[in-house]
Structure 1
């Protein structure tokens, strides 16, 4: 699974010249017969994009642009490790691919910019959260939604005490015990006896957790999703002291996570997240209605899009069930040529407003809860 960060969104939202930018989205299966059906659906989607590009680009340029999508189709192993949704973004000489734990619409767009709407819910949806399972043996970061959590790969973040702490020189009264990952060739950690050694171990644990927090700061840059901690009391308390992520949930799952499967972690964490998100969303919606008649709120898409472009949107609500782009209907393939089909002009405006709001440090709520009846969007303005 690939964690989508604000840095990714910023990169995807960069204005680039040319009219040969492609966004592809598709729901996927994790296992079973649906996997092969997904591969065929991906091939058909890419073929549809190729047909849409004829007349825009020369044949060699089309083949070069779509080469990453064709390689993915041919990669047997990749299709065995999908999540619930797949997204790929293509520019000449550049591509980004994300497997995400949320279903995405079957959709492709071709035009002078990338479409991000279906991905924004991974940053701003009212069901998206992070889970940090803390232990000395194995620390895991997970990204979750209402239905699941999935582990995020951490390449530069220490995930065990043995990784973060240099082995100590053995003393005469000390004995070596295998480290948490000793079975994988990890170093031994030496423990002695007495209060001095207990203090030393506490210092090591704090150093380890500080390294985790520092490493996650880079991984989570731009994230605003709530994070719930899972772990034993002492480890969780120490982590809170060194934490650098500003969106920790106050409630904690006080369990040793080492033997807990992702399904169990989700079952324990989701009620805490759901309660918090529902209360937070309700407060913001209530504020929207309190400001009615002051000129500080609007449910008109054109007005909101203009205000977002000017950096005036403090909070943007976007209807997400379904998201605008998920209403795409086509008799053959859901391939949209941007700027050329009036049916999707509003979707492009919603997308632009959401990106502009995020880029000016506003908050976007992709919510299934209606704020204003019969309106795709609603916004609170800064002024």
Structure 2
């Protein structure tokens, strides 16, 4: 099975690759098996179109088959079609093939040139479509995995058989029932002990993940869990209702809304950081300035308009030439800037046009005044 999303190493590899025949294919897909026929037809059409385009450029037939053959083989690979998501990206060149399954909606797109078109791939990795949801009550401890396109998935937790006894009543010598811990302080002690057990099981299940964890806990256990939490990516906002009162559908909808809020808050924080750095001459939203800084490896963080269609070229000194439209000698300027930032070890993040400053498709925080 192919990876869902590319790593930073994958992105740097793709942005660095140069060849006279680089094929980039983006196709819509569906996790519903019976709907895969449309994707297979679209893939065949894209491969055939790329082959014709390379033939017209006079590419050596043997080298052409080296590229096209593996692409055609995908259509005959049952494993490739049995576990689809909402889309996939394919990158092919002589001796090179990479396929990524993506969890966001795509438009079908084909590009053939001297470099891979990674713009849509960057858009896909800019937003986290995943979260863990912990449902925590005195009677249940459940962990779920949430993605944008799959049903919510229950994750098994390794819990002690007697975990719930931490909060149960015990008996005294005269058999009179009494709480295991007396008073408000004792009750909180037992709640925190219970939550530590839950947290240990959660951390064992999710490992070193950076995916947000959303807490859905009863009113008394939520503060107890947060008090013992050691997971850096626990969302500050909880579901705000006892999970026993919610269906799994309701729980999922509330968690997705929190995930959207997390994205919005994170972006707001970034723009505040950008304005602070701009006051120190360490940030800019000028397109030409950003192109030069990207070429000089001077950009630490880039935010760019995911819908930008600007075409042109950027030379090795960072000089920018904007074209009136796409041609064989042009490419997406904003995507190329993002690629240069990634190759230099910076980060690049795609956002919607409405989230960009007026008049600019890019904004960058610099490593130093440039």
Instruction: Report the TM range for the smaller structure's normalisation.
Output: 0.5 to 0.7
Residue in structure 2 matched with residue 208 of structure 1 by the alignment: 201
Tell me the CA shift for residue 132 of structure 1: 0.3
Report the 3-state secondary structure (helix = DSSP H, G, I; strand = E; otherwise coil) of the residue aligned with 2:337: helix
Residue in structure 2 matched with residue 352 of structure 1 by the alignment: 339
Alignment CA distance shift 1:110-1:370 (3 Å): same
Residue in structure 1 matched with residue 270 of structure 2 by the alignment: 284
d(CA) in 1 for partners of 2:363, 2:12: 26
TM-score by length of 2: 0.67
Q: Output aligned runs, 1:118-157, within 5 Å.
A: 118-125=120-127, 128-134=128-134, 139-144=143-148, 149-150=149-150
d(CA) in 2 for partners of 1:19, 1:207: 52
5+ residue gaps, structure 1, are 169-173, 175-192, 221-225, 327-338
The 8 Å contact of residues 30 and 85 in structure 2, kept in 1 or not, is answered as yes
**Higher RCO (C-alpha under 8 Å, 6+ residues apart):** 1
Whether 1:307 and 2:293 are equivalent positions in the alignment is yes
d(CA) in 1 for partners of 2:275, 2:82: 47
CA RMSD of aligned residues (A): 4.6
Residue in structure 2 matched with residue 380 of structure 1 by the alignment: 365
Residue in structure 1 matched with residue 7 of structure 2 by the alignment: 6
Tell me the CA shift for residue 376 of structure 1: 2.0
Residue in structure 1 matched with residue 323 of structure 2 by the alignment: none
d(CA) in 2 for partners of 1:140, 1:325: 41
Alignment CA distance shift 1:243-1:40 (3 Å): farther
Q: Which of these residues, 236, 243, 257, is aligned with residue 250 of structure 1?
A: 236
5+ residue gaps, structure 2, are 163-168, 171-179, 181-189, 312-325
Greater CA radius of gyration, 1 or 2?
A: 2
* 1:153-202 residue CA offsets vs partner (Å, 9 max, x unmatched): 9xxxx9423xx47x99xxxxx9xxxxxxxxxxxxxxxxxx977xx99987
Farther off after superposition, 274-283 or 290-299: 290-299
The 8 Å contact of residues 115 and 351 in structure 1, kept in 2 or not, is answered as no
Residue in structure 1 matched with residue 16 of structure 2 by the alignment: 15
* 1:141-164 residue CA offsets vs partner (Å, 9 max, x unmatched): 3334xxxx53699xxxx9423xx4
d(CA) in 2 for partners of 1:151, 1:325: 37
Report the 3-state secondary structure (helix = DSSP H, G, I; strand = E; otherwise coil) of the residue aligned with 1:372: coil
Tell me the CA shift for residue 340 of structure 1: 6.5
* 1:324-383 residue CA offsets vs partner (Å, 9 max, x unmatched): 489xxxxxxxxxxxx9624525244234245247x23x4624233253333222223233
Report the 3-state secondary structure (helix = DSSP H, G, I; strand = E; otherwise coil) of the residue aligned with 2:354: coil
Residue in structure 2 matched with residue 160 of structure 1 by the alignment: 156
* 1:268-296 residue CA offsets vs partner (Å, 9 max, x unmatched): 12332333333442343355456667643
Residue in structure 1 matched with residue 166 of structure 2 by the alignment: none
Tell me the CA shift for residue 17 of structure 1: 5.6
Alignment CA distance shift 1:309-1:283 (3 Å): same
Whether 1:52 and 2:53 are equivalent positions in the alignment is yes
The 8 Å contact of residues 24 and 112 in structure 2, kept in 1 or not, is answered as yes
Alignment CA distance shift 1:228-1:206 (3 Å): closer
d(CA) in 1 for partners of 2:223, 2:73: 43
How many residue pairs are counted as aligned between the two chains?
326
The 8 Å contact of residues 145 and 155 in structure 2, kept in 1 or not, is answered as no
Q: Output aligned runs, 1:1-383, within 5 Å.
A: 2-7=3-8, 9-10=10-11, 12-13=13-14, 15-16=16-17, 18-31=19-32, 35-54=36-55, 55=57, 57-75=59-77, 78-79=80-81, 81-125=83-127, 128-134=128-134, 139-144=143-148, 149-150=149-150, 159-161=155-157, 164=158, 205-213=198-206, 215-217=207-209, 220=210, 227-232=212-217, 241=228, 243-244=230-231, 246-253=232-239, 256=243, 264-286=250-272, 288=274, 295-320=281-306, 322-324=307-309, 341-356=328-343, 359-360=345-346, 362=347, 364-382=349-367, 383=369
d(CA) in 2 for partners of 1:242, 1:4: 28
TM-score by length of 1: 0.65
Report the 3-state secondary structure (helix = DSSP H, G, I; strand = E; otherwise coil) of the residue aligned with 1:104: coil
